Structure 1
Amino acid sequence: MADLHLPAPSLAPLLFCIISPLLLLFIFAYFKTTSTNKNLPKSYPIFGSIFTITKNKHRRVQWISELVTSTPNLTFTLHRPFGYQQIFTANAANVQHMLKSHFHNYHKGDVFRSTLRDFMGDSIFNADGDIWKFQRQVSSHQFNTKSLRRFVENVVDFELSNRLIPILEIAAEKKIVLDFQDILQRFAFDNICKIAFGYDPEYLLPSLPETKFADAFDNSLKLISCRFNSDIPFIWKIKRLLNIGYERQLKIVVDEVRNFAKAIIREKKQEIEKKSPTSIDQTDDVLSRFLLSGQADEDFVTDVVISFILAGRDTTSAALTWFFWLIFNNPQAEIEILKEIVTKQNSEESVYDEVKNMVYTHASICEAMRLYPPVPVSTKSALNDDVLPDGTVVKRGTRISYHPYAMGRVEKVWGADWAEFRPGRWLETAETAAEWRFVGKDPFTYPVFQAGPRVCLGKEMALLQMKRVVAGVLRRFRVVPVEESLSPVYVSDFTSKMKDGFRVKIEERNVT
């Protein structure tokens, strides 16, 4: 009888029977751990939360704010494609941990620096370690001089009296509709260019001219923001390598900005060389101060000046834009500010002592920036493994962002009325019943100007400038939105803006 040879049994069905349940168990466990909070987006292998991220791309700031404030510890981890993770927090204890007590472990990081390096080089806003320390030391010395402060005051007063107010007078007389956001950006751009360069771009003239430098600077910021907001973090590097899409445009406009800045630096060097020794110490703009302090490297000085323009242009104009909209919609606050303006106007104080002591106005500006911070998100990168005060585990290289926009909406901090514009939350009655005393929040609860070693050097100058503008404008005019019933949309490129601008009518007050 012949041997019966049966085919060897296949192992595939057996393996499938063993692996399938394990795979299903893994997938179930994966989704269970990433979906414990129903408010948080689902995360999938490889893709992360890309589908929800893309869906909310048009309202990224608001979406992240809603997510982070829905968690018990005000912190959550967003899973991006290919395993990238980013932690977002609105927890003040975490912010203090990052910005002060463990400052050494939270740097800008390689991702942030590489994203901005084309535009900002190794400037103070894009540097870490010894490079940052050196720039901070030099910049801090320059910002703390009384002569620079006087120079800033004179520049702001000139721009206000000779450019902004006349434009508003014409608009009121001829009933012209203005984009007040654009007007304030022009005002701030002229100011900061004079302060940083000693150069007047004349951007705020009655004709509202286009200028190549301002346009290139604005386009650079818009295109750089495309890198930060890319759904897939590294896609911009591929586009840059291939020189396609917005990366091709970015290279052109960044070259325009940096070449223009370098041309001004060379002119400034020649100007300083021609001056007599007795007049050199009277030079006031930041560029001259850096050159006179021995900084000769052209790229370094260019980086510094571009950083100052970025800090001084968009932040103050954004804060003021939202302030004027909020004031119009809160007439009682406007009445209180007008009372304060009239009181200070009739006092014997100097113009700048006057605005310095405008406590209610100061509180109103802080309240506006609580609701609409000029920089809604700020990101760091962990150098080493760490654990945040709320228990969140941070792995080395993880990007972690604190979220001032969300922090201004935390009910435990601001109360059930957090959505209301209420300057009084920053005030208490002084010993003299007719006066107010300002009561600020600690900088880790209200990090609009950052905090810790990287706290904004220009904070006091920015607040002084904003109060000067508020007093100068509201003393003479009402700023009335054209579409009074509509709420503007808060959007953010590199800094916050009103989508489609802020169209207003200007009405002259009856000044007695």
Structure 2
Amino acid sequence: MILSLLLIPALGFLIFCLLLSSSSNKLYVNIKKLTPKLSPPSLGCLISFYKNRHRLLSWYTELLSESENQTIVVHRLGAPRTVVTANPDNVEYMLKTNFANFPKGKPFTELLGDFLGLGIFNVDGEMWSVQRKLASHEFSTKSLREFVVQVLRDEVAARLIPILENAAEDNGVLDMQEVLRRFAFDTICKVSLGMDPSCLDMSRPAPPLSSAFDAASELSAMRGAAPVFAVWKLKRALNVGPEKDLKDAVRTVRGCVDEMIRCKKETMAAGGGGGGGGGGDLLSRFLGAGMESEMVRDMVISFLMAGRDTTSAALTWLFWLLTWHRDAERRAVEEIGDGYGGSCGRELGFDDLKEMNFVKACLCETMRLYPPVVWDSKHAARDDVLPDGTPVFRGNRVTYFPYGMGRMEALWGKDRLRFRPDRWLDDAGAVKMVSPYKFPVFQAGPRVCLGKEMAFIQMKYVVASVLARFELVPVRPEPPVFVPQLTAYMAGGFSVRVRRRGGVM
């Protein structure tokens, strides 16, 4: 689930250039079966793009909506075609039916290769298959699920709730996005590495791993903003500018993880850590399975990347949406109260979380409108034809666009822009089965997100813990700006005042 777009509005054009994978500045867009078609090169298209540079996501969504088959083809002189689609049949074909013909591809893996190495999210073929099988086994175990819930209990009770309590007491302004982001990093480090970075402890400085990880993520995304693909490669060869900073940040991240692996191995060799896997965290499990240290390191870094900001982004947008839809918030609070048995003193268990259907519906509706990853691309290994008849040639970039898909009238109806959680529930109040190719925020097919259920557990736990006790009141009245980077975020943060919730609980 990793690609970048629109670091800031001023960089929008440069990132669009990366999507189109060329240094040429002449392009045209062909919206299939619509007229008039633009002929290359088209100054009109460049002018249109410049006019829409501050609303690229909306513009792309409009182009796809106008297309008869929700697919557009972008041409640039001297570069392969780029196919962008919001058509679920095409998405299923890419991610499942003809999965083998649509790997991530070298253009993608090169961008993140220095940071993620040979981890599961940055490799194709046999190396991906080996890691996937091992990770899939571990993610399906009951023991990992129980470990995750215990980590959440500890982090929520010891850190998240006290921070919100203090904010309510002081009537101060709190950046909820930053709090949730720090919470997510603490949680994923405990689950993946078995270590506590204490990012949510505001009295302590950020640990080296956290700071270096932030820098490596941002600098890797900057590669995607380069107007010419070769520029960052030249800077890397010369070891100058952002590439030097990236190299230093990656060295710190890998050094920290390597040291944890060394210590974990020593503990396991001495018989500590418990269990055949050496402990409940993923690092212990992978080492216990006999994996080489370098592959374990890269896998763990990939999981840190995947779990660091995606859940916090979804939660930030959900809490904002609920402040504008208090009726939905009231329904969520009532459902949460039933899960708690009427008392916040009782600990939530996995079964309690599983029953929170309306909360899950709210989360799905949030991610439909504000997906943590706006789009994802594959690269065709051979010539092909998509189900809607669009030809794809070897080396073409084929991109599916979850942000636009969530706004297609053909997929979600005339009220597609409304926050309406009930669209996810059947008449009995159970969560409906929706095709993952219509709602591909967790990908689908062989590469479907292994942490999907873990993510829902974490998000439900946080939503329940916060809404049962507090009401969030936004400080700014204007709608926030949605900014997709490696993971989407809310520009300027989500500043709120915290009020204790009275009444039911």
Structure 1 counterpart of 2:188, from 181, 185, 192: 192
Q: Indicate which of 64, 70, 88 corresponds to 1:68.
A: 64
Quote the residue 2:329 is aligned against: 334
Alignment of 1:215-254 (within 5 A): 215-254=211-250
Answer with 1 or 2: which has the greater Rg: 1
Report if aligned partners of 1:41, 1:52 keep a CA contact under 8 Å in 2. Answer: no
**For residue 345 of structure 1, what is the amino acid of its counterpart?**
Y
SS in 2 for 1:162: helix
State the Cα distance separating 1:285 from its structure 2 match.
0.6
CA contact (8 A) 2:118 2:298 kept: yes
Contact 2:402 2:440 in 1 (8 A): yes
Q: Does 1:440 align with 2:438?
A: no
CA distance in 1, matches of 2:363, 2:202: 27
1-side partners of 2:461 and 2:307: how far apart? Answer: 15
Cα pair distance change 1:32/1:256, threshold 3 Å: closer
Among residues 410, 423, 445, which one is paired with 1:452 in the alignment? 445
CA displacement 1:188-224 (0-9 Å, x = unmatched): 0000001000010000014363232112111211221
Distance (Å, rounded) in 2 between the aligned partners of 1:32 and 1:213: 43
Equivalenced residue count is: 476
Counterpart AA for 1:90: A
Partner of 1:87: 83
Contact 2:471 2:498 (C-alpha < 8 Å) held by counterparts: yes
Determine the structure 1 residue equivalent to 2:17. Answer: none
| Conservation of the 8 A alpha-carbon contact between 1:192 and 1:313 | yes
Deviates more, 1:103-112 or 1:239-248: 239-248
Query: How far, CA to CA, are the matches of 1:439 and 1:172 in structure 2?
Result: 37
Shift of the alpha carbon at 1:231? 3.5
| TM-score computed with the length of structure 2 as normaliser | 0.88
Structure 2 Cα separation of the partners of residues 100 and 490 of structure 1: 30
Q: Equivalent residue for 2:295?
A: 300
Alignment of 1:273-422 (within 5 A): 273-275=269-271, 279-281=275-277, 283-296=279-292, 298-346=293-341, 351-422=349-420
Amino acid at match of 2:438: T
Greater CA deviation, 263-272 or 364-373? 263-272
- Pick closer, same or farther for the CA change 1:281–1:480 going to 2, 3 Å: same
Cα distance in 2 between the residues matched to 1:277 and 1:314:
28
C-alpha change, 1:57 and 1:259, in structure 2 (3 Å) is farther
What one-letter code is carried by the residue in structure 1 that aligns with 2:432? V
Amino acid at match of 1:481: P
**Does 2:471 correspond to 1:473?**
no
User: How much has 1:122 moved relative to structure 2?
Assistant: 1.3
- What percentage of residue pairs aligned between the two structures are identical? 46
Equivalent-residue separation in structure 2 for 1:412 and 1:46 (angstroms): 29
Measured in 2, the distance between the counterparts of 1:250 and 1:163 equals: 31
Q: Aligned-pair distance for 1:228?
A: 2.4
Amino acid paired to 1:295: M
- Between 223-232 and 165-174, the greater mean CA deviation after superposition: 223-232
**What secondary structure sits across from 1:448 in the alignment?**
coil
Q: Which 5+ residue runs of structure 2 have no aligned equivalent?
A: 1-25
Match of 1:506, SS state, is strand
Is the contact between residue 180 and residue 504 of structure 1 (CA under 8 Å) also seen in structure 2? yes
Offset at 1:53?
5.5
Q: State the 1:73 CA deviation.
A: 1.1
Q: Deviations over 1:47-73 (max 9, x none)?
A: 996676666555544443333223221
Matches within 5 A, 1:15-94: 45=41, 59-80=55-76, 82-94=78-90
What displacement does 1:32 show?
9.6
Distance (whole Å) between structure 1 residues aligned to residue 166 and residue 27 of structure 2: 61
